[in-house]
Amino acid sequence: MSVPYWRARDRYYRILGNKCEQCSQEYFPPAAICKKCGSTKFVDCEMPKTGTLVSYTQQKESIHGFEDQEPMVFGLLRLDNGVRIIAQLVEVPYDSLKEGMKLKAVFRRVRVDGESGQIFYGYKFGASRESKS
Ligand SMILES: [Zn+2]
């Protein structure tokens, strides 16, 4: 069992970034120095689980360890707090993706470790209920 994974597990089930204590700017991944005010004081801050699709692409070449998930689709999203994040997109057919559509974070199997059989989970983005109508 991978100890660092279990120690960091909390960060995989939530999208955990941080927030500048001085100016409240939010970051994901967590920042060490605030780009806005230069402060180095931060508190953990969970990112919203919904966002808007800014751009997306389909990966057709093999990524080692992810052959069973091909073709993979990745999107750049603007979360509801304005933070930009790149994530794998699932559940929405590639042809149905549209820039500006609302997506929400879903927690899915990311990969299985070949040697230990350990399953790793993490966030991906899928269809938001409001966009299904
Ligand atoms: Zn700041």
In what helix (H) or strand (E) does residue 4 lie, and over which residues does it extend? helix 3-13
Whether the predicted pLDDT of 53 surpasses 80: yes
CA of 109 to the centre of ligand 1 (A): 34
Q: Could you tell me the pTM of the whole model?
A: 0.78
* 41 CA distance to ligand 1 middle (Å): 8
- Three-state secondary-structure class, residue 80: coil
Structure tokens at 74: 């990745």
Q: Does residue 10 or residue 78 have the better pLDDT?
A: 78
Distance (angstroms) between ligand 1 centre and the Cα of 27 equals 10
Q: Is the pLDDT of residue 12 over 90?
A: no
pLDDT digits (tens, 9 = 90+) for 57-86: 998 887 777 777 788 999 999 999 999 999
Centre of ligand 1 from the C-alpha of residue 116, in Å:
42
Ligand 1 centre from 24 Cα, in Å? 6
The domain spans of the chain are: 1-47, 48-133
Rounded mean pLDDT, 93-118: 88
CATH numeric code, 48-133: 2.40.50.840
Position with higher pLDDT, 89 vs 130 = 89
